[in-house]
Amino acid sequence: MTKRNYIMVWDECLSIIKDNIPEDGYKTWFAPIKAISLVGSTLTLQVPSHYVIEHIERHYCDLLRKVFTRVIGNDFHITYNVRIVGDAYMRTPEKGRETPLNRPVTLSAGGQKYNGSAYAVPGIQKVRINSHLNPNYDFENFVVGECNRLGCSAGMSIAENPGKSAFNPLFIYGGPGLGKTNLAQAIGIATKDRYPDKTVVYVNASTFIAQYMDTVGVNNKLTDFLRSYQSVDLLIIDDVHEFAEKKGSQNALFNIFNYLHQSQKQLILTSDKPPVELAGLDQRLLSRFKWGLSVELKMPDYETKLAILKAKCFREGIDIPKGILEYIAENVKGNIRELEGAIITLIAQATFVKKEITMELARELIEKIVQTPQEEITVSKIQQVVSDYFKISPEQISSKSRKREVVQARQIAMYLSRTMTSTSLSYIGSQIGGRDHATVLHSFNTVNDLIDTDRTFKRYITDLKRILSE
Ligand code: ADP
Ligand code: MG
């Protein structure tokens, strides 16, 4: 954005504000405010003091919300810079994004009511949080079939009445690429369409965890973090299996979950496994995940695949003969992401390479996609993956080092080689630092025992196996 843009944008806001409030109020509170930047939909305003922020947010909250929505758009975001003595600027607060005034009113970290009158700015707080909803992921584009029918209808009834249905939380689980993110987002979008004033927030578990980590050791930051999540009406947390072994983040989630659930706010969680199979998560969290409805997204059947392909072509404005779509639906056996990959490749060939979409072209492409042989899992591949995972070089793994973490990585590499390749113990030993077969067997047994007794260890193995099978 050029300099002129933010000035123009703010001028436009000012002129609407001016038309809507008494002149005195305008002169005192708004005239001294200047815009200093506009990045995306984030407008930064320079204000004379914190008091001014407090005042305008408290008294003109509704008006401001309407003005910003009209001039900047639904996803507007306002940050303030307060001018302080000495002509220096202080980011307010130093985090740059938040203002103390943007804290919600009656919310608290621990379940007690927070009586922060100075921060009573519910309106601004409501629109301030970025929804992170992707408009392409709405129900209109979501094809319903046997594989996702239950999730879809539960989702639609949530959007009718978020927080008030029996489906709280809605726990959506299933393998990768089966539409968990898409469905969760569609529910968010439908809710927002029906209740524009409700705050809907989508966050991926890893983002949530990173945000939580960011609060550690910084005064009040955790409270701010908890409060902002506690102030939403519909919270979607994607991929909650990522919380495994992340104790602090789990506590924060527990806290937010309780608060929202008690306040009859809606929660939607997604995961690659049902709650009972989630390893590394606290029992009290898992039991809460089971309070509402758990639905599985399954592999799509032929009819659903065909419908998804047709929908995709329709959206792209491309007409592909039915026989070709049927061929793709029949031959792509993987998840929906792979199905989409296939049709996108075909469409790309037609558009960019200007090839006509014929059955022959479809066959050629699909053969490549379907028959991509999985990269073979070898002892050296395993060593490489283990080395990347633990950040220990392959040389160290093969070395004579007795350091605990090196020994552990070495034993895991041997264990995985034994379980995931068909090579002999002595071959594995020869590849991993010239050990004999007895050493490999010993490592195998050690790891096997640890998997049963040590959850972290079990997690390592599950992660590594997943990475290797990808
Ligand atoms: P997951 O979160 O389960 O890994 P995604 O939600 O990311 O899967 O879905 C993978 C891709 O498949 C996305 O591009 C998504 O839009 C598409 N997709 C999934 N389910 C459907 C559906 N029912 N209809 C249309 N597209 C779908
Ligand atoms: Mg996903």
The DSSP result for 398-425, as a single string, is HS----HHHHHHHHHHHHHHHHHS---H
pLDDT at 112: 26
How many Å apart are CA 20 and CA 26, to the nearest integer?
Answer: 9
Contact 436, 429 (CB under 8 A): yes
The atom of ligand 1 lying closest to the CA of 142 is: 24
pLDDT at 99: 38
The atom of ligand 1 lying closest to the CA of 336 is: 12
Minimum mean pLDDT among 181-195, 229-243, 330-344: which range?
A: 330-344
Q: Any idea which ligand is nearest the CA of 315? A: 1
pLDDT tens digits for range 312-330: 888 877 888 999 999 999 9
Closest residue by CA, ligand 1 atom 16: 182
The atom of ligand 1 lying closest to the CA of 185 is: 6
Comparing CA positions, the residue from 237, 234, 211 lying closest to residue 222 is: 211
Contact 10, 45 (CB under 8 A): yes
Residue 338 CA to ligand 1 center (angstroms) comes to 10
Q: Answer yes or no: is pLDDT of 95 > 90.
A: no
Confidence of residue 467 (pLDDT cuts 50, 70, 90): very high
Supply the Cα-derived Rg of the chain in whole angstroms.
27
pLDDT at 355: 77
Mean pLDDT over 375-398 rounds to: 91
Q: Answer yes or no: is pLDDT of 205 > 70.
A: yes
Comparing CA positions, the residue from 67, 74, 5, 3 lying closest to residue 30 is: 67
Mean pLDDT over 226-254 rounds to: 95
- Residue to mutate, 337, 345, 466, 470, ligand 1, most ligand atoms under 8 Å from C-beta: 337
Closest residue by CA, ligand 1 atom 25: 142
Confidence of residue 84 (pLDDT cuts 50, 70, 90): very low
Residue 177 CA to ligand 1 center (angstroms) comes to 6
219 against 269, higher pLDDT: 269
Mean pLDDT over 280-309 rounds to: 95
SS3 content of the chain, % helix, strand, coil (to 5): 60, 10, 30
How many Å apart are CA 79 and CA 419, to the nearest integer?
Answer: 54
pLDDT at 282: 94
∠374-378-381 over CA atoms, to 5°?
Answer: 90
Confidence of residue 349 (pLDDT cuts 50, 70, 90): confident
Pairing state of beta strands 266-271 and 200-204? Answer: unpaired
pLDDT at 93: 31
445 against 94, higher pLDDT: 445
What dotted CATH number matches 302-369? 1.10.8.60
Q: Answer yes or no: is pLDDT of 83 > 70.
A: no
- Residue to mutate, 137, 182, 187, 238, ligand 1, most ligand atoms under 8 Å from C-beta: 182
pLDDT at 217: 84
What dotted CATH number matches 139-296? 3.40.50.300
pLDDT at 88: 27
Q: Answer yes or no: is pLDDT of 177 > 50.
A: yes
Q: Residue 331 belongs to what H/E stretch?
A: helix 322-331
Q: Round the average pLDDT of the chain to a whole number and report it.
A: 84
Q: Answer yes or no: is pLDDT of 20 > 50.
A: yes
Residue 238 CA to ligand 2 center (angstroms) comes to 7
Q: For the chain, what percent of residues have pLDDT higher than 70?
A: 87
pLDDT tens digits for range 111-144: 222 222 222 233 333 334 568 888 889 999 999 9
∠254-131-276 over CA atoms, to 5°?
Answer: 35
Q: Any idea which ligand is nearest the CA of 307? A: 1
Residue 121 CA to ligand 1 center (angstroms) comes to 37
What dotted CATH number matches 379-469? 1.10.1750.10
Closest residue by CA, ligand 1 atom 26: 142
**Using the 8-state DSSP alphabet, how is residue 275 labeled?**
G
Tell me which range, 7-11, 106-110, 123-127, 232-236, is most confidently predicted by mean pLDDT. Answer: 232-236
Closest residue by CA, ligand 1 atom 21: 179
Closest residue by CA, ligand 1 atom 20: 179
How many Å apart are CA 85 and CA 405, to the nearest integer?
Answer: 53
Mean pLDDT over 452-467 rounds to: 93
Confidence of residue 53 (pLDDT cuts 50, 70, 90): confident
Residue type, 43: L
∠221-209-455 over CA atoms, to 5°?
Answer: 130
Q: Answer yes or no: is pLDDT of 54 > 70.
A: yes
- Residue to mutate, 273, 336, 343, 344, ligand 1, most ligand atoms under 8 Å from C-beta: 336
Residue 174 CA to ligand 2 center (angstroms) comes to 10
The correct answer on CATH 1.10.357.10 for the domain covering 6-128 is no
- The pocket around ligand 1, CB under 6 angstroms, is made up of 141-143, 148, 174, 176-182, 308, 336-337, 340
Pairing state of beta strands 89-92 and 77-83? Answer: antiparallel
- Token couple for 66: 């309407």
Q: Answer yes or no: is pLDDT of 173 > 90.
A: yes
The atom of ligand 1 lying closest to the CA of 270 is: 2
Query: DSSP string covering 45-106, please?
Result: EEES-HHHHHHHHHHSHHHHHHHHHHHT-TT-EEEEEEE-TTS-EEEESTTSS--GGGS-SS
Q: Any idea which ligand is nearest the CA of 144? A: 1
Residue ranges per domain, the chain? 6-128, 139-296, 302-369, 379-469
**Using the 8-state DSSP alphabet, how is residue 382 labeled?**
H
Q: For the chain, what percent of residues have pLDDT higher than 90?
A: 54
Residue type, 109: A
Confidence of residue 98 (pLDDT cuts 50, 70, 90): very low
